[in-house]
């Protein structure tokens, strides 16, 4: 699955190719990511959506090779960043990439800040490590950054501990840390899930502004199609560790192809639902990731499934320059005369 604007000859900023990640656990081998491929150009924004447990976080943490100390993990495939395969770099080289060329905002902002270190120092520490800035220069730049991400009275709040910040303010600090070294790529894992809608909108706007100011590419991981619409040029839909559909964000809302994507879109709450429509959840549960899956992982829940779907894994079918759908019925569905331009509004 390729990016929208890759120029002929120029390698994309990021190229994830057939990435698979499995954990050897007491429950058996958990295939957390299975055959994930996508590319991202400089300055481009990709949204990754999917149900809880679909492999969004593991797929992104693998780019930075961030796993738990005691994880028994096997990673295959390639993650090329500016042409270099990150999976093959030494630990020392990798520590320069993390936080320097690739910034990350983690799913849980409270546990990812050090509770006993003043917030300003947490930003300055990253700057000193990656840019070699002096203590004074790092402090000055940190105050500028805290101010830029919207921390009022940044010079004084520099010295405060994370617990004295609200959830929204902590997330702004996380953004400051992640962009401190002006990374070429920022990965934001559920950057707004724990925030109220007003703060959520402010953080999304901030990420979008910073992306444009710094020319960063962005990967936003979310459950929320509203977040995708607000931040992403393209969207990748994952289900049970596998990529299901990948398309420009505009296509998603007008011509989603995969039955799973359609199912998710039907769950987008809309104001008018209150009056005359009920949300229709997708029946059934995702499969256990410890069991081998021969065909399409969505087949047991799919109302369109045919015999082949249970037997053979569908490859991504190209439906347009940057639209792919991993469904045996993809082409037939794309030809439908009455393509549902708003599938969640179908009777």
Ligand X SMILES: Nc1ncnc2c1ncn2[C@@H]1O[C@H](COP(=O)(O)OP(=O)(O)OP(=O)(O)O)[C@@H](O)[C@H]1O
Binding site for Mg ion (CB under 5 A): 57
Do the Cβ atoms of 34 and 106 come closer than 8 Å? Answer: no
Query: Minimum distance from CB of 187 to Mg ion (Å)?
Result: 11
Name the one range near ligand X by CB under 6 A: 54-62, 87-95, 277-285, 326-334: 54-62
Name the one range near ligand X by CB under 6 A: 56-64, 132-140, 242-250, 300-308: 56-64
Helix (H, G, I), strand (E, B) or coil at 58: helix
| Partner in contact with 316, chosen from Mg ion, ligand X, none, beta carbon below 5 to 8 Å by kind | none
35/120 with CB nearer ligand X: 35
CA dihedral 9, 13, 16, 22 (to 10 degrees): 160
| Partner in contact with 71, chosen from Mg ion, ligand X, none, beta carbon below 5 to 8 Å by kind | ligand X
Query: Minimum distance from CB of 283 to ligand X (Å)?
Result: 20
Query: Minimum distance from CB of 296 to ligand X (Å)?
Result: 18
* Residue 36 lies near ligand X (rule: CB under 6 A): no
Q: Applying CB under 6 A, which of residues 3, 47, 50, 191 lies at the interface with ligand X?
A: 50
Q: With DSSP H G I counted as helix, E B as strand and the rest as coil, what are the percentages for the chain, rounded to 5? A: 35, 20, 40
Query: Minimum distance from CB of 341 to ligand X (Å)?
Result: 28
Query: Minimum distance from CB of 225 to Mg ion (Å)?
Result: 16
Q: Applying CB under 6 A, which of residues 68, 83, 132, 152 lies at the interface with ligand X?
A: 68
Q: What is the largest CA-CA distance in the chain?
A: 67
| Partner in contact with 128, chosen from ligand X, Mg ion, none, beta carbon below 5 to 8 Å by kind | none
Give the angle subtended at the CA of 96 by the CAs of 93 and 102, to the nearest 5°: 120
* Residue 111 lies near ligand X (rule: CB under 6 A): no
Any idea what DSSP says for residue 339?
Answer: -
How far is the CA of 72 from the CAs of 10, 22, 29, 57, 75, in angstroms? 36, 8, 10, 17, 10
Strand-pair partners of 196: none
Q: Which of 126, 129, 163, 130 has its CA nearest to residue 142? A: 126
Q: Which of 261, 245, 226 has its CA nearest to residue 343? A: 261
Give me the sign of the Cα torsion angle 59, 61, 64, 65: negative
How far is the CA of 173 from the CAs of 150, 167, 240, 255, in angstroms? 9, 10, 32, 38
* Residue 109 lies near ligand X (rule: CB under 6 A): no
54/126 with CB nearer ligand X: 54
* Residue 228 lies near ligand X (rule: CB under 6 A): no
The 256-295 contact track toward ligand X, x by CB under 6 A, reads: ---------------------------------x------
Element (H, E) at 311: helix 307-311
Query: Minimum distance from CB of 19 to ligand X (Å)?
Result: 12
160/224 with CB nearer ligand X: 224
46/133 with CB nearer Mg ion: 46
Name the one range near ligand X by CB under 6 A: 6-14, 53-61, 156-164, 208-216: 53-61
Q: Applying CB under 6 A, which of residues 5, 53, 150, 300 lies at the interface with ligand X?
A: 53
* Residue 92 lies near ligand X (rule: CB under 6 A): no
Give the angle subtended at the CA of 141 by the CAs of 140 and 146, to the nearest 5°: 100
What is the residue whose two structure tokens read 């039955």? Answer: 259
Q: Which of 30, 39, 42, 120 has its CA nearest to residue 67? A: 30
| Residues of this chain that bind ligand X (CB under 6 A) | 23, 25, 30, 32, 50, 52-58, 68, 71, 107, 289
């Amino acid at each position: 699955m390729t990016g929208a604007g890759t120029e002929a000859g120029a390698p994309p900023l990021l190229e994830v190719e057939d990435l698979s990640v499995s954990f050897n656990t007491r429950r058996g081998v958990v295939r957390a990511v299975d055959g994930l491929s996508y590319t991202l150009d400089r300055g481009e924004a990709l949204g990754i959506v999917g149900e809880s447990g679909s492999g969004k976080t593991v797929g992104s943490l693998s780019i930075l090779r961030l796993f738990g100390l005691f994880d028994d993990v096997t990673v295959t495939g390639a993650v090329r960043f500016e042409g270099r395969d990150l999976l093959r770099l030494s630990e020392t080289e990798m520590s320069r990439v993390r936080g320097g060329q690739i910034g990350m905002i983690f799913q849980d902002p409270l546990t990812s800040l050090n509770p006993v270190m003043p917030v300003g120092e947490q930003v300055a520490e990253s700057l000193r490590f990656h840019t070699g800035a002096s203590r004074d220069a790092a402090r000055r730049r940190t105050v500028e950054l805290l101010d830029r991400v919207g921390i009022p009275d940044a010079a004084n709040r520099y010295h405060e501990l994370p617990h004295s910040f609200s959830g929204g303010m902590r997330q702004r600090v996380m953004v400051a840390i992640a962009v401190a070294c002006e990374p070429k790529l920022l990965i934001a894992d559920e950057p707004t899930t724990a925030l109220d809608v007003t703060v959520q909108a402010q953080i999304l706007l901030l990420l979008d502004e910073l992306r444009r100011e710094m020319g960063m590419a962005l990967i936003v991981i979310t459950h929320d199609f509203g977040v995708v619409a607000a931040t992403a040029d393209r969207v990748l839909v994952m289900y049970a560790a596998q990529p299901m559909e990948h398309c420009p964000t505009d296509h998603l809302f007008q011509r989603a192809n995969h039955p799973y994507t359609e199912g998710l879109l039907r769950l987008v709450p809309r104001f008018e639902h209150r009056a005359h429509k009920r949300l229709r959840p997708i029946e059934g549960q995702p499969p256990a990731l410890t069991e081998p899956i021969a065909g399409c992982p969505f087949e047991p829940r799919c109302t369109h499934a045919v015999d082949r779907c249970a037997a053979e894994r569908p490859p991504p079918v190209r439906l347009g320059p940057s639209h792919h759908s991993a469904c045996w019925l993809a082409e037939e569905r794309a030809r439908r005369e009455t393509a549902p331009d708003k599938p969640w509004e179908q009777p």
